[in-house]
Amino acid sequence: MSGELKVLGACPLDCPDTCSWIVTVDDGKAVKLRGNPDHPYTRGALCVKVNRYLEHTQAADRILHPLRRTGPKGSGQFERITWEEALEEISVRLRAIVEEHGGEAIWPYLGTGTLGYLQGCEGVAGRRFWNVLGASKHFLNICAAAGGSGLHRTNGTPAGMDPENLALAKLILLWGTNTLTSGHHLWKFIQDARANGAHVVAIDPIRTRTADQADEYLPIRPGTDAALALGLLNVVLAENAQDEEFLAEHSEGWPEFREEILRHPVGKVSEITGIPAADIHSLGMKLAHTRPTAIRATMGIQRHAGGGTALRTIGAIPGVTGDWRHPGGGIAYSTSGHVHLDIDTREDLLAKPVRTLVMTKLASQLDDVKCLWVYAANPLGSTPDGNAIRRQLAREDLFTVVMEQFPTDTVDYADIVLPATMQTEHYDLHAGYGHMYLLWNEPAVEPAGECLSTTETFRRLAAHMGLTEPSLYDSDLELAEQLLSSGHPSLEGITLDRLRKEGWVRMNYPKPFIPFADGFPTPSGRLRFPRAGQAYIPPHTAQAERSPYPLALVTPAAHTFLNTIFGNNPELRRRAKDPVVLVNPADAAARGLVSGQRVRVHNDGGEFLADVEISDRVAAGVVASPKGRWPKLSPGGANPNAVVAERDADMGKGPGYHDNLVEVSPA
């Protein structure tokens, strides 16, 4: 096989697993993509979605050239233009906006399309350029802000266990996390623990495919997890199983938190959570007497009014049980806090301080914005209050630029579209948020059509605008060298040369890793327990009885899409079938609904259409429909974000995707 080459890369998608992959290239064409068998976390497998990534890079609807709008906003009518024309028009418009309205009238709206440190949000791609222009800052709060803040309050960091250590646990709580769908590589480590006798419990309002595979499943009322945590700890205290030595040496606020726990006996918690008291008691007994216990809680559990507090209080559990002492104990939320790549966005280039706009508040914060620059994001598919966003994007006075790979709903509203490379076509540096490895992505093939990477697009635009700041022209490899040069011990010996040769490397952390062996990264060095009255905040949906919309809607990860990525892939759409909404038999009977019937799921914000699936996978009062559909490819032209309100969680301004009240009616 002459000309065949194997190129090491990494999956760029917003998934905790950040897989290592190998691209086979034959005569300049990528012909095969597979998971790297040598990588200890990937272990040779990708997933049902990314197995189709190569086909996706070669899809017929890929955007290959710069485009200029010719029809009304939203029509998706464009003409092909040259890069020179695109850069010229953009330069003229940006200069005029800065002159007339100031740089803050520009909103650089960067999403999670790639987690690359060069091309994507982890390194805040493009920010140096925006700083020179004085553009508004962008708070990427759409995913993990609430939970991260909650854990930070408890532990001083959102980071915790090495997820691989789940293999050492004897009790595993999969708490508001759908492992087999949203990051399935962890499952092997859970199976290893099981082989050593571990008991696995899933806590979720939906009996997911993960719950099906667990030893035990507790159906919880959405948004009530912090109360469950207090109830479980109530049993731990009744058993006198708290780790007094750990509490004395490593915590602060224990007497007050202890009182709060005592105010949450199992019966009361059963009423709040909807879980039978006997089941709470039985799990509390297991928690009291099983060391080490590992808690896996990820992003879904925080998408509620009290989402930050949920992680804050669940995060307190290993402080009471002393699980942090043991390899295999603690909480595994995200490993991002263990990554110490040095991101220099050159804040010194800003002439004056600028405001920060909030990603999930696009609909309400766009009023005085004159240029919306969307990259690696699809707000019309993914951001709350889809109908209000659509009205905003239709504004004639808003200059919208979208850097994209595919003709999304958001692209339809662009004035200028810039074609973006995909992962096999550009350099990038990655770290997982579900493991402890860094990965290098070497381009395997030339960019398709006239596509450019994010870094190259901003270099060319800077040059076209005649900007003289030298750091705007740093090459990708120079940027990677800078990222790796923080001097943090976890990166010692990890050079770009080594990464390019080996493809991936584990950061320098001991194995097994005990994150807080030397104390917690709080000012006192101690874990901080929640204050009295602040350990549980009820969800918005607790108001169901007083609302014309009595059903609590949960909109979790879809198995075949990654957010809205792959929402246009014909094979994955075929597998996903038509959109469904899970409805409990009692709720279906009360409304006279039958399985397969097309319904409107609606509230004051809008509606989306789906087919009813009558199922005991959800409790009465709860309905569920996954995220990720493209509105324009969905019946009725809307997805669940039509009924998701732009409403803050208690911390980090996080969104409430799983905390909305709806009614379900025949279409």
Ligand X SMILES: Nc1nc2c(c(=O)[nH]1)N[C@H]1C(S)=C(S)[C@@H](COP(=O)(O)OP(=O)(O)OC[C@H]3O[C@@H](n4cnc5c(=O)[nH]c(N)nc54)[C@H](O)[C@@H]3O)O[C@H]1N2
Q: What is the CA radius of gyration of the chain?
A: 25
Task: Retrieve residue 30's tokens.
Answer: 């990528």
376-405: contacts with ligand X (CB under 6 A)? 376-379, 381-382, 403-405
Q: Measured from the CB atom, is 134 or 556 closer to ligand SF4?
A: 556
Helices (H), 442-537: 454-464, 476-483, 496-502
# residues near ligand X by CB under 6 A: 63
Out of 178, 293, 336, 455, the only residue in the binding site for ligand X (CB under 6 A) is 178
Q: Measured from the CB atom, is 181 or 242 closer to ligand X?
A: 181
- The answer to whether the bond into 292 is cis (omega within 30° of 0) is yes
47 binds ligand SF4 (CB under 6 A): yes
Residue 329 interface partner, choices ligand SF4, Mo ion, ligand X, none, CB cut-off 5-8 Å depending on type: none
Task: Retrieve residue 344's tokens.
Answer: 């220099």
DSSP 627-642: S---GGGSGGG--GGG
Category of 544 on φ-ψ map: left (φ > 0), alpha (ψ -120 to 50) or beta: alpha
Q: Which residues pair with 623 in a beta bridge?
A: 553, 583
Tell me the CB-side half-sphere exposure of residue 109, using CA atoms within 13 A. Answer: 32
| Strand, helix or coil for residue 609 | strand
Lookup result for tokens 């120079």: 478
Q: Measured from the CB atom, is 214 or 247 closer to ligand X?
A: 214
Site string for ligand SF4, 535-574 (x = CB under 6 A): ---------------------------x------------
Q: How far is the CB of 14 from Mo ion (least distance, A)?
A: 5
Task: Retrieve residue 36's tokens.
Answer: 């790297």
| Strand, helix or coil for residue 610 | strand
110 binds Mo ion (CB under 5 A): no
627 binds ligand X (CB under 6 A): yes
Q: CB nearest Mo ion: which residue?
A: 143
Stretch that binds ligand X, among 52-60, 173-181, 441-449, 527-535 (CB under 6 A): 173-181
Q: Measured from the CB atom, is 309 or 423 closer to ligand SF4?
A: 423
Q: How would you class 160 by CB atoms within 10 Å of its CB: exposed for 0-12, middle for 13-18, buried for 19 or more?
A: buried
Residue 232 interface partner, choices Mo ion, ligand SF4, ligand X, none, CB cut-off 5-8 Å depending on type: none
Q: How far is the CB of 260 from ligand X (least distance, A)?
A: 20
328-357: contacts with ligand X (CB under 6 A)? none
Out of 8, 23, 50, 295, the only residue in the binding site for ligand SF4 (CB under 6 A) is 50
Stretch that binds Mo ion, among 142-150, 232-240, 583-591, 636-644 (CB under 5 A): 142-150
Stretch that binds ligand SF4, among 43-51, 254-262, 438-446, 550-558 (CB under 6 A): 43-51
Out of 18, 234, 421, 603, the only residue in the binding site for ligand SF4 (CB under 6 A) is 18
23 binds ligand SF4 (CB under 6 A): no
98-137: contacts with ligand SF4 (CB under 6 A)? none
Stretch that binds ligand SF4, among 10-18, 102-110, 259-267, 630-638 (CB under 6 A): 10-18
Task: Retrieve residue 614's tokens.
Answer: 């009558």
Stretch that binds Mo ion, among 135-143, 258-266, 420-428, 588-596 (CB under 5 A): 135-143
- The answer to whether the CB of 612 falls within 8 A of the CB of 664 is yes
Q: How far is the CB of 552 from ligand X (least distance, A)?
A: 9
- The answer to whether the CB of 144 falls within 8 A of the CB of 176 is no
Residues 6+ apart with CB under 8 A from 248: none
# residues near ligand SF4 by CB under 6 A: 11
Number of residues assigned to the chain: 667
Q: How far is the CB of 35 from ligand SF4 (least distance, A)?
A: 7
Q: How far is the CB of 303 from ligand X (least distance, A)?
A: 6
220 binds ligand X (CB under 6 A): yes
644 binds ligand X (CB under 6 A): yes
Q: CA–CA separation, 292 vs 252, rounded Å?
A: 22
Q: Which residues pair with 660 in a beta bridge?
A: 553
Helices (H), 239-273: 244-250, 254-262, 266-273
309 binds ligand X (CB under 6 A): no
Integer angstrom CA distances of residue 626 from 2, 497, 629: 45, 42, 8
Q: How far is the CB of 288 from ligand X (least distance, A)?
A: 20
Q: How far is the CB of 308 from ligand SF4 (least distance, A)?
A: 25
Residues 6+ apart with CB under 8 A from 252: 524, 526, 527, 528, 529
- Maximum Cα interatomic distance, the chain, rounded to a whole number of Å: 72
202 binds ligand SF4 (CB under 6 A): no
| Strand, helix or coil for residue 287 | helix
Q: How would you class 263 by CB atoms within 10 Å of its CB: exposed for 0-12, middle for 13-18, buried for 19 or more?
A: middle
Q: How far is the CB of 143 from Mo ion (least distance, A)?
A: 3
Q: Measured from the CB atom, is 426 or 526 closer to ligand X?
A: 426
Out of 10, 19, 143, 401, the only residue in the binding site for Mo ion (CB under 5 A) is 143
CA dihedral 303, 308, 314, 320 (to 10 degrees): 180
Tell me which residue of 486, 459, 537 sits closest to 149, measured CA to CA.
537
Residues that bind Mo ion (CB under 5 A): 143
Binding site for ligand X (CB under 6 A): 14-15, 111-114, 119, 142-143, 175-178, 181-183, 203-206, 208, 220, 222-223, 225, 298-301, 303-304, 375-379, 381-382, 403-406, 408, 420, 454, 554-559, 561-565, 627-628, 640-641, 644, 657-658
Binding site for ligand SF4 (CB under 6 A): 11, 13, 15, 17-19, 46-47, 49-50, 562
